[in-house]
Amino acid sequence: MKLSELLDKNIREFGEYPLIFSGGKQYTNVETMNYANQLANGLRDHGVDNGERVIVIMPNSPEVLFAYQGITRAGAVIVPVMYTLHPKEIAFIADNCGAKLIITSSLLLDNIGQAIELMDKRPSVLVVDAPTTEQAQNFYDYLSPSPDRDEKLIEAMPEDTAVILYTSGTTGNPKGVKLTHRNLCSNAENSVKHSNVERGTTLGILPLAHVFGLTISHTCYIVGSSIVVFPRFEPKEVLAAIETHKVRAFSVVPAMIHALVAFPTAGNYDTSSLESVSSGSAPLPIALLNAFEQKFGAKVFEGYGLSEAAPIVTAHTKNRPIKPGSVGIPIPGVTIKIVNEKNEEVPRGEIGELLVRGDNVTPGYFRNDEETDRTVKEGWLYTGDLGRLDDEGYLYIVDRKKDLIIRGGFNIYSRDLEEILSKHSGISEVAVVGVPDERMGEELVACVVKDPSSCVLEEELILYCQDNLAKHKTPKRIIFLDSLPRNGVGKILKTHLRKMVNVMDLTDSKKG
């Protein structure tokens, strides 16, 4: 199946119904298809050919979904970009993918303008919420007046690239992950089968520019659901939407779970309809999982995925027990294994690198054969994540391979220490990193955000860790921060933390 067929099939199966709710307005699935077809014809009229790249960069809005469907119907390639990026980062992505067009909002026109000034070949710009100017043409003015498909449109094939997703670039410039129509459609369909997704209204609080949010939109087409689209995550608005739309399930990242648990007036909203949330993109501390389930009476189904796997690899399901700390079992059509440094599969329970195979695995990186050859070998995706499988096939992610800390010759996994510290009542959030040490090779530093009411000191936390872990796994220092650095989808940026800690004097006498 191709991405355009998801919406076509949706209309055939479910008839016309409200698909998108946003800012007091609603749009049906038929209206969405009409806008998409008009954009597709507009793109072809303006010379956007098959396989050419179109960037979509703006907060979540109905126009993002119109644009995604329109671009794919024109045979072009969607390049979703997080709107929080710096103009230099936007310019790099636009240059790297050779963008023909950028679709954005008035909020970002200045940043887009700065980015274009840095480029040799300058793309055209459409703006969804402002009149046409010399800088940008209005999105709706660009649309073809006819909602009918034009004979000039050339259908994409399942193996054609549908989307190029740029990674966060924590280890250098971002890489463009190519995802085909088959990658994305098969992953969404198998995720629906695995999780027994039911028709209803869900919440679009994940950025649609992120592969997790993008996949949620695809599952809505498949099961006939509606989606409430939020331009940004606000706990108050989310809780109100659960009450208004009687939402039973939606998807989140751990930072959102933390915000909902901490929101002081959550009890003022009727969230009794909520049955479950699916969490992914970053590790979820068990203490936070338990706190959410206790507060909202809803299950948390933690899963695992990555952009290169389109994205879902494993997840918990209603038909099998939830194992806190695990990210579930592989979804249909996905095979996983754990290997050692010699590329040999290890026994159950042993830790090694996670490899993934299936129709969801990327064919490679855009214009980056070297990285492709390093990451995808004989159909297996080398994730760079360290994990283990239990006897029932549940996956446990223990660390990123590049985040593994080697102290005095011992392998230390940051998640072990993070889980212990997250249980302490005085801690709101924590991330553990390794820093160079002359004597031990590396030392552990825990970066902690205290609970607002806490007066906990560094010595207390170090003793607490020593009471719960072997001494060689406990931190040399506790660094107190006001907040942890995150990317646009809420994942903690450990590369930034390591740089920050490396310039600190770890013999500093400040104790909290």
- Please give the pLDDT value at position 450: 96
Please give the average per-residue pLDDT across 434-448, as a whole number. 91
**C-alpha torsion angle, residues 73, 79, 82, 83 (rounded to 10):** -70
- Please give the pLDDT value at position 512: 43
Domain with 172, as residue range(s), is: 3-8+21-178
Q: Indicate if 482 and 337 belong to the same structural domain.
A: no
The answer to whether position 224 is within a domain reads: no
**C-alpha torsion angle, residues 79, 83, 87, 92 (rounded to 10):** -20
- Return the CATH number at 297: 3.40.50.12780
| Residue after which a domain boundary falls, among 178, 210, 243 | 178
Close Cβ partners of 199 (under 8 Å, ≥ 6 residues apart): 223, 224, 225
Which residue in 99, 76, 103, 219 sits closest to 166, CA to CA?
A: 99
Alpha-carbon distance of 257 to 277, in angstroms, equals 9
The answer to whether position 136 is within a domain reads: yes
| Residue after which a domain boundary falls, among 378, 401, 424 | 401
Please give the average per-residue pLDDT across 174-199, as a whole number. 97
Q: Indicate if 408 and 471 belong to the same structural domain.
A: yes
The answer to whether position 301 is within a domain reads: yes
Alpha-carbon distance of 147 to 128, in angstroms, equals 18
Residue 509 confidence class, pLDDT cut points 50, 70, 90: very low
- Please give the pLDDT value at position 428: 94
Q: Indicate if 387 and 411 belong to the same structural domain.
A: no
Q: List beta partners, residue 22.
A: 25
Q: Indicate if 257 and 307 belong to the same structural domain.
A: yes
Please give the average per-residue pLDDT across 41-49, as a whole number. 93
- Return the CATH number at 158: 3.40.50.980
Helices assigned H by DSSP within 20-61: 29-45
Please give the average per-residue pLDDT across 124-137, as a whole number. 97
pLDDT in tens, 309-365: 999 999 999 989 999 999 999 999 999 999 999 999 999 999 999 999 999 999 999
User: Mean pLDDT, the chain, as a whole number?
Assistant: 94
The answer to whether position 39 is within a domain reads: yes
Residue 283 confidence class, pLDDT cut points 50, 70, 90: confident
Helices assigned H by DSSP within 324-451: 369-375, 414-422
Alpha-carbon distance of 229 to 204, in angstroms, equals 5
Q: Residue 466 has which token pair? A: 């020593």
The answer to whether position 16 is within a domain reads: no
Residue 437 confidence class, pLDDT cut points 50, 70, 90: confident
DSSP code for 492: B
The answer to whether position 185 is within a domain reads: no
- Please give the pLDDT value at position 101: 98
- Please give the pLDDT value at position 353: 97
Please state, as a whole number, how many other Cβ atoms lie within 10 Å of the Cβ of residue 24: 5
Q: For residue 224, which phi and psi values (nearest 5 degrees)?
A: 80, 30
Residue 152 has pLDDT above 70, yes or no: no
Please give the average per-residue pLDDT across 35-62, as a whole number. 96
Residue 304 has pLDDT above 90, yes or no: yes
Please give the average per-residue pLDDT across 207-216, as a whole number. 95
Residue with tokens 């042993």: 350
Q: Indicate if 66 and 108 belong to the same structural domain.
A: yes
- Please give the pLDDT value at position 146: 79
- Return the CATH number at 442: 3.30.300.30
Alpha-carbon distance of 427 to 451, in angstroms, equals 5
Structural domain total, the chain: 3
Residue 137 has pLDDT above 60, yes or no: yes
Residue 172 confidence class, pLDDT cut points 50, 70, 90: low
Q: What is the pTM of this model?
A: 0.90
Q: Residue 356 has which token pair? A: 């993934």
Q: Indicate if 156 and 273 belong to the same structural domain.
A: no
Which residue in 308, 495, 501, 280 sits closest to 400, CA to CA?
A: 495
Q: Indicate if 419 and 479 belong to the same structural domain.
A: yes
Q: Indicate if 42 and 160 belong to the same structural domain.
A: yes
Q: Indicate if 391 and 434 belong to the same structural domain.
A: no
Q: List beta partners, residue 21.
A: 26, 228
Percent of the chain at pLDDT exceeding 70: 96
Q: Indicate if 70 and 168 belong to the same structural domain.
A: yes
Q: Indicate if 393 and 414 belong to the same structural domain.
A: no
- In this predicted structure, which of 72-81, 123-132, 142-151, 178-187 has the lowest mean pLDDT? 142-151
Residue 507 has pLDDT above 80, yes or no: no
Q: For residue 428, which phi and psi values (nearest 5 degrees)?
A: -90, -50
The answer to whether position 220 is within a domain reads: no
Are residues 284 and 300 in contact, defined by beta-carbon separation less than 8 angstroms?
A: yes
- Please give the pLDDT value at position 129: 97
Residue 511 has pLDDT above 50, yes or no: no
Q: Indicate if 394 and 248 belong to the same structural domain.
A: yes
| Residue after which a domain boundary falls, among 138, 159, 178 | 178
The answer to whether position 112 is within a domain reads: yes
- Please give the pLDDT value at position 510: 44
Supply the DSSP string of 436-468, one letter for each residue.
EETTTEEEEEEEEEE-TT----HHHHHHHHHHH
